Amino acid sequence: MRQVCVLGDGQLGAMLRDAGRRLGLYVETLDPESSDALPESAPRRHAIITAEREHWPDNGFTRNLQAEPGWLNASAFAALTDRQSQKTLLDNLQLPTAPWCPVTVDANLHSLRTALGGEFLLKRRRGGYDGRGQWRSESAGEEGMPDWHDVAIAERCIDFSTELSLIGARDAQGNMVFYELTENFHAGGILQISLMQPGRFARWQREAELYHARLMSHLQYQGVLAIEFFVTDAGLLINEVAPRVHNSGHWTQAGASIDQFEMHLRAISGLPLVTPMQPGCSVMVNVIGRAVDPACLALPGTRLHWYGKQERAGRKLGHLNFFHPDAARAAEWLRRLPLDVTFAESRERALRALVGPNQAREADMAL
């Protein structure tokens, strides 16, 4: 049995492990804090080595792991895990992204507004997720700007209609496959709901795939990679790139014949890479901060994935998936889902996308 080692032992690693069982692959997740040396067991020494995360501690264990011949995507991690090098790469490849600049030691509120032509967003170069490590300049005085000189980039605030993500995969021979574009709904910088409807964003699908393919080909990437896009009046702009399986692709566990976790393993292990069937509407809802309401499980379309984490405000504890060929039925399940009030806007937008504004408004009044 071929062995795959995954750097990281969170929920993404656990779902990769589950997918490995279906494929006859032994997938082992590795805690990056676990050891200062790579164990010498023969199977592990010949394993394919991938990652479920793009940031990890710099210690003897992770350095040794990255020196192994089975370590994949070294150039991708080097280029993409720092936002400054990621943006530089996108510019060099002529892939559209929001205007940006480094936050140098002499940068200030006025100089950054001038350079970027308006209000901007500070993003720390490394780390930061679910809205953390970000700061907006609107209505801020000079004294309110954080001292993130040389550790952040500044990016112009973009007027966009929605955010889409594209999950794609590439194997060692350069074969690529893509899922349908997915619409994402956030609150407070945290993804709450992802929605996929076949053909809904057909206008943008080919363009997004071309950008995705250009990036993966340049990096000689192997596995699943996610790109987030802003939809603007001028077209698509790349927001961020994640070299791994991604939260916005969790819907594939219910709504695609091959989910993103199996697709990643196929791509890195030499198994056939084929375009998955995606025959209907798929909705993914993150469970955030507190335990799931058992009433969720009374809905016939519910599939719950629980991560086994302790409750904490803003923490993703699991996710729910719905799939149905009929958008109205998927919308019905989403309407009936017992969600916290903080999900109200995201649910309303997702319902409008599924059944139109009038029915969504009626449903919102009934909740």
Alpha-carbon gap, residue 80 to 100, rounded angstroms: 16
Same-domain check for residues 183 and 289: yes
Is residue 90 one of the residues assigned to a domain?
A: no
% of the chain exceeding 70 in pLDDT: 92
What are the residue ranges of helices labelled H in 105-236? 109-116, 202-219
Query: Which CATH number do you get for residue 130?
Result: 3.30.1490.20
Domain with residue 7: its CATH number is 3.40.50.20
Most confident range, picked from 46-60, 77-91, 289-303: 77-91
Domain termination site, one of 135, 156, 177: 156
144 and 37 both lie in a single domain: no
Q: Look up the CATH number of the domain holding residue 334.
A: 3.30.470.20
Which pairs count as long-range contacts for 130-134, CB under 8 Å and 24+ apart, including other chains? 130/189, 130/190, 130/191, 130/314, 130/316, 131/188, 131/189, 131/190, 132/189, 134/189
Say yes or no: 197 and 341 in one domain.
yes
State the total domains in the chain. Answer: 3
Task: Determine the pLDDT at residue 364.
Answer: 53
319 and 257 in one domain? yes
Residues 46 and 139 occupy one common structural domain: no
For residue 94, being part of any structural domain is answered with no
Q: Give yes or no for residue 39 having a pLDDT over 80.
A: no
Please indicate, yes or no, whether residues 269 and 361 belong to a single structural domain of this protein.
yes
Within-domain flag for 81: no
Q: Among 71, 91, 116, which residue terminates a domain? A: 71
At 360, is the pLDDT very low, low, confident or very high (cuts 50, 70, 90)?
low
**Residue-level pLDDT at 120:** 95
Who contacts 272 (Cβ-Cβ below 8 Å, separation ≥6)?
A: 266
Looking at the structure, tell me whether residues 207 and 310 fall in a common domain.
Answer: yes
Does residue 311 sit within a domain?
yes
Q: Calculate the CA 132 to chain-centre distance.
A: 15
Whether 8 is covered by a domain: the verdict is: yes
Domain co-membership, 303 together with 256: yes
Residue 326 lies in a domain: yes
Looking at residue 140, what is its pLDDT? 64
Instruction: Please indicate, yes or no, if residue 79 is contained in any of the structural domains.
Output: no
Q: What is d(CA 346, CA 47) in angstroms, rounded to the nearest whole number? A: 41
Q: Do 128 and 24 share a structural domain?
A: no
Pair (52, 174) in one structural domain: no
Residues 177, 287 share a domain: yes
| 45: in domain | yes
- Res. 1: pLDDT tops 80: no
Q: Are 16 and 52 in contact (CB under 8 A)?
A: yes
User: Residue 348's domain spans which residues?
Assistant: 162-366
On whether both 171 and 266 belong to a single domain, the answer is yes
